[in-house]
Amino acid sequence: MKFSNIATFLFSTALSFVLAQQTVQSGSSTNAVISQYGSTFKNAGGSVLHDKVNVYIIFYGNWSSTESQHEQTIFMDFIDNISSSPWFSLLKQYTDNNGKAVTGPLNLAAAVNDAGSHSLNLTNTIHKQIVLDAVNSGFLSPINRLDSNGIYVIMGGPDVSDNDFCKVNCGYNGFSDEFQYMFIGYPGICPDICIPSANKASSPNNSPAIDAAITIFSHELQDILTDPRGNGWEIQTSNVTVELGDFCSGQGTSSDQFGNITQSSVGSYNIEVNNRKYLVQTVLDLSTQQCKLG
């Protein structure tokens, strides 16, 4: 397993951005990550996640309050609906070396609660075991088997700490020989680091924490679909690993990261899917070498 710290460090620089007007026009500037790595970004030979991709969510920790359950619904609706968006279509340009592309759709296959089987103080060596235990429990998959083309998401609750979360990252993606997964911590634990400033006070779905978790997911999803096993769309140098999500993350400017943001009384967003509003990270478009929303 490989963890790429810089590759998953979200919101490191760009979040002090303040919106001055209702819609912020994104320039077409090329950010530093794109200038340095954009022209050599290609598939190193590995597969991408193609066709229907099942998503399995493990809500880890305490999600029992009414508010938490509402947050779970928002998060699950996003995953269920996002593949029909122009934003998701940008991911379809990413193929393996046989021409098989990311197509989606994402299919929310199952979600379970794990109140804290491995304590509420996690380290990233334990994340894979949490996934395996959930699979073996039988509640995540009717066949009790790992889905090697699926995505396992561990979503930490408000009572869950983690050794890297809030310090090194707000979420990350990793893999084993058999599956790929991501961990996202509860952004409300460290709002200054993990909630975009534009949505700290109020957010489109009335939960700054879960709206931020969706923003983080929109980065990790880019990585995991195009580089599920660390041998696909990835550039590795001696000191840095760059995956798709890193091109348009907080390393550049806010307009790179979020594109044209609309600010409303309920917070900031940049896409609408089935009448719900979300703030997602933009996606690198290979032909124009720009961060796009769709």
Ligand X SMILES: *[C@@H]1O[C@H](CO)[C@@H](O)[C@H](O)[C@H]1NC(C)=O
How far apart, in whole angstroms, are the C-alpha atoms of residue 160 and residue 121? 6
Q: Which member of 50, 118, 200, 276 binds ligand X (CB under 6 A)? A: 276
Q: How far is the CB of 65 from ligand X (least distance, A)?
A: 4
Interface with ligand X, residue 129, by CB under 6 A: no
Burial state string for 270-291 with b = 16 or more CB within 10 A and e = fewer than 16: bbebeeebbbbbbbbbbeebbb
Interface with ligand X, residue 81, by CB under 6 A: yes
How far apart, in whole angstroms, are the C-alpha atoms of residue 207 and residue 67? 9
Q: Which member of 64, 69, 117, 264 binds ligand X (CB under 6 A)? A: 64
Interface with ligand X, residue 69, by CB under 6 A: no
Q: Among positive and negative, which fits the CA dihedral 207, 10, 132, 49?
A: positive
Contacts with 208 (C-beta within 8 Å, 6 or more apart), sequence order: 187, 188, 191, 195, 199, 200, 201, 202, 267
Among 60-68, 136-144, 205-213, 223-231, which window interacts with ligand X (CB under 6 A)?
60-68
Q: How far is the CB of 161 from ligand X (least distance, A)?
A: 6
Q: Which member of 26, 85, 180, 241 binds ligand X (CB under 6 A)? A: 26
* Phi, then psi, of 34 in degrees rounded to 5: -65, -45
Among 61-69, 137-145, 147-155, 168-176, which window interacts with ligand X (CB under 6 A)?
61-69
When the beta carbons of 36 and 148 are compared against ligand X, the nearer one is 36
Q: Mask 160-199, x = binds ligand X (CB under 6 A)? A: -x-x------------------------------------
How far apart, in whole angstroms, are the C-alpha atoms of residue 131 and residue 162? 16
Report CA-CA distances (Å) from 85 to 34, 216, 244, 252, 270: 24, 17, 18, 24, 12
Interface with ligand X, residue 239, by CB under 6 A: yes
Q: Which member of 112, 235, 240, 266 binds ligand X (CB under 6 A)? A: 240
Q: Which residue has the tokens 């928002």?
A: 74
Interface with ligand X, residue 222, by CB under 6 A: no
Using alpha carbons, select from 290, 283, 260, 233 the residue that is nearest to residue 86.
283
Name the residues that contact ligand X, by CB under 6 A.
Answer: 6, 25-26, 62, 64-65, 77, 80-81, 121, 123, 161, 163, 239-240, 259-260, 274, 276, 282, 291-293
